[in-house]
Structure 1
């Protein structure tokens, strides 16, 4: 379990499913410093007490807000004092997750002996976690590969290379061999992959192109949200480039290009610059953030929420180098129907709106 915990911590910079119970986080470790404790950095304190832990992994956990001193998140350079209570918390409870194959349809865009690219629909959780131990993409992959002698869904050297959120649709690459997982993982780490997303955001984005740079980390006030911290403070460096595709009155259709891959990155960065994703419930986009107070407009927006009952975000393109052949692979996916209908409704509204 200790190794599993830190594997989870290593993956937090991916666009992962963060299934957080409303009652808070789950405690995985608790240590009480004794009365004679000398002043010691918390990362060193924990490395000495947790088997298989490393300073780097502890520091990543602190950056994610998973290390608490006396109930409050602390940085890795926090100095442990006598009788301090140091805990490590996670979004999911401590339990082994058995991956059960389930016959869930997959939209397979490409597949060979080394990898597979799938187009994930909105609403499908990527990986089992708290509240979602079945019905996930990983369960579907286990079924798809059930007759593949070399594939073990529980083997961390295989399977998912990156993740996207439950209610985000779009392209994902899956490794079928340890060599492919290592090679593809390195491309994501070195930021050489090409990923473009399409999003509908609240408000008129005035600049045709722009870049959002800001450290992303878990909010110290609401642990279900990620926020932008000042550089050099909490969080991890993150960069998102965006371009306007179409301005539609009180909303804007944009393309976002990821330079890094932090949890909820596009959702957090766009909110940070005042353009929350349309119908993004976690970040307040399911409220009317722009427009008029007329009842007719309110009903129109409510109808739009029903047409696309999730954040309007789609991972449209994915590019990488094939781990075995060295060939440049590029994939494109259609924007799903719910987002297409949503955008078309805003086009009609904008065209007929009284100036």
Structure 2
């Protein structure tokens, strides 16, 4: 494969499809075989992904990311690298239950099981977090105002996103191809730079979130290999300027798995610090949008729709759909917090006994907080009470 790619006869996307095929075949051959195949496939990516030079040039601050947009070939190389990491996590390991996350983590730890991707997370995640942090910063002021017109326009929705919100089927046209088709190695002839950047931003963001979520399902192997503060900073630093569509994807793909699979002894460090900024922001944003919908008949959301062909009604429909989708996602996070597997130590009213003062009530809850995520968060985040 390396020879064909070097000769220019194998596109990067085609190379990744072949690699994924090897992963699928290895998945039926046991963990050791998967480890060997992954080591073979990831070694060349390790050499390029961990290079300090490109990270310094493009990820030191958000302006570096805008410089990357000028190098189309390298830009799409980064996209394909991120999506291959995502595929490697999807295709490797063994199937695990999602109904009792804490029990699953305990079992895998006790039996000495180590996911074949575990040893690679320590070098995959740091550059990814820096990349996502820079992407998020494109929406933050005052930097957002300094962007070129092309990049500002590229931050708006793709045609396929608009069609999905409207319940329509959108056949991609020239300049509107989603990166998921896997064939965008270089800028296509006649395709605008704006659409290239738009597709790249959407693809890297979604795959990056999903990669973090998939890594979180590994339990201890993930949560012990990286500093939680770096993950929380990358994901939450600019949460207050996120559009609803991005916030929903962040919660669905990354936040839910991070909460669901976090070991109990790390709830205070990871889960509480992760949920505090997102709950505060969602409460304010949803209150404003729902109030606007009820009082003015239109949900005011921060999302940029770009040029919309058709009536103003389409915008109103998309705004309400975005509002409802984000509301459902917040409810999904709350549902995860209440999972029995994460609250095995939740006391009954009889166990708590009669209490006459709030202070004594909270003190009595502390003894149960280590085995109940809900109680842990109630003590760590008083605004939830």
Alignment TM-score, normalising by the size of structure 1: 0.27
In proportion to residue count, which structure has more strand?
1
Structure (1/2) with the larger helix percentage: 2
